[in-house]
């Protein structure tokens, strides 16, 4: 029996090392593949972010245009028929001071 175990040990040891090497190589390939996939996803997300940032800037500019005094005056005049009052049309109403207890 001892004669049989002697030659089998180097074969088992070699098989163990080969399995360990195969496992390490498989892990390396998986890690590299995962890294490439994540890098691709990062690039896609950065492109999406750049588009969103551009859209945000466009919308911010549009908001400033819509809030401008010139546009508000034009809309008030054209759509609502309003006009800026003349000095004689402005009435200042005095506010009574609050009574303090």
Band (pLDDT 50/70/90 cuts) for residue 6 is: low
Mean pLDDT of 10-31: 94
Predicted pLDDT of residue 1 = 46
Lookup: tokens for 74: 């034009």
Calculate the average pLDDT of the chain. 89
99 or 15, higher pLDDT: 15
Q: What is the pLDDT of residues 36-55, one digit of tens each?
A: 999 999 999 999 999 999 99
- Please give, one letter per residue, the 3-state secondary structure of 50-83: HHHHHHHHHHHHHHHHHHCHHHHHHHHHHCCCCC
Predicted pLDDT of residue 100 = 57
């Amino acid at each position: 029996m001892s004669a049989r175990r002697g030659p089998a040990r180097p074969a088992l040891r070699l098989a163990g090392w080969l399995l360990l090497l195969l496992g390490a190589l498989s892990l390396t390939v998986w890690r590299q593949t995962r890294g490439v996939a994540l890098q691709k996803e990062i690039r896609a997300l950065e492109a999406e972010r750049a588009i969103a940032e551009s859209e945000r800037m466009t919308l911010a500019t549009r908001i400033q245009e819509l809030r401008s005094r010139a546009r508000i005056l034009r809309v008030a005049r054209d759509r609502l028929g309003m006009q800026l009052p003349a000095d004689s049309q402005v009435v200042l109403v005095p506010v009574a001071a609050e009574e303090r207890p």
